[in-house]
Every structure is written in structure tokens, then in C-alpha cells.
Structure 1
Amino acid sequence: MDNTPNPSPRWRSPLGIFMSIAGLVGLYYLLTEHLTHLTQAIPYLVLLACPLMHLFGHHHGGHHQHGKNTDEK
């Protein structure tokens, strides 16, 4: 048996709690002060998302092997 104590997760440490709160405050500031910029960028983000979805989405589909027998090695 290993008697070493399990260390607490990083986000439960005082520094982790501080960084989480600082991140939430920063997110609140960005949403309240820059919401207009974000709403103006939405059409461009949608246009950018379309080719990215096509580029990365086709790698996970089917992988068909046309004309090859799957039993052969």
C-alpha cells in the first residue's frame, strides 16, 4: 500500500481559487465592456466556422476502403 497523501487538485489551492476568481472577473469585464464588438464579429465567426468544420469534420467520418477486402492483411 502506498501511504502518500493524495494532493488536492490545483484549482482547490489558494492560487487556483484566486486565478478562477480573476478569470471570472475578467470574463465579466469583457462581456460588459466589449459585448458590442463581439456581436459585430458574429457574422465573420460563422463564416470562418464553415470552412473549419468542413476541414476538420471530414477526418472523422467513415474511412471507407473502396474495393479492398477487410479480411486480407
Structure 2
Amino acid sequence: MSVKAKAGLVLVGFLVIAGALLFTEHRAHVLGLLIWLPLLACPLMHLFMHGGHGHHHGGGRPNDPRSA
């Protein structure tokens, strides 16, 4: 197992432990903020998922009337 893989496992383990401790100690705050998660996910998905819509500027075909 490489050093990079070991470091990744340690990081994942640390994040799991930190998340569990944060959830148990701050359960009321975390559960209160969960209602906002879908509302925050909508604009984030809007921003990051427009790459597949063909909104690439400056790369149009020379004879394409739509690129003018």
C-alpha cells in the first residue's frame, strides 16, 4: 500500500470521527440546518452543472450562423 493511499485512509478515518463527534455534540444545530441543505443544493447544482449545455464561448464553427 502506497504512502498516498495510507494518508487517504487516515484522512477518511479522521473525517468520520470528526463528523460523528460534531453530530453528537451539536445535534440540535445540525438538524436545524438540514432544512437548508436542499435550498443550498439548488443554486450549487445550477452553477456547477451547466458545463454540459454547450455554453462554451469562442469555440464556434466559422460557417455556423448561430455563432455570429
TM-score w.r.t. the length of structure 1 is 0.49
Identity %: 34
For 1:42 and 1:20, locate their aligned partners in 2 and report how far apart those are by CA, in whole Å: 22
The answer to whether 1:24 aligns with 2:20 is no
Which has the greater radius of gyration? 1
**Structure 1 pair 48/9, CA: closer, same or farther in 2 (3 Å)?**
same
Structure 1 residue 61 displacement after superposition? 2.6
Name the counterpart of 1:41: 33
1:61 aligns with 2:53: yes
Task: Give the superposition deviation at 1:20.
Answer: 5.4
Structure whose residues are more often helix by fraction = 2
Relative to 1, partners in 2 of residues 1:57 and 1:26: Cα closer, same or farther, differing over 3 Å? Answer: same
- Mapped to 1, the partners of 2:5 and 2:52 lie a distance apart of 33
- Across the two proteins, how many residue pairs are aligned to each other? 58
Aligned CA-pair RMSD: 3.1
Deviation readout 1:22-60 (Å, 9 max, x if unpaired): 443322211211222111112222111111211221222
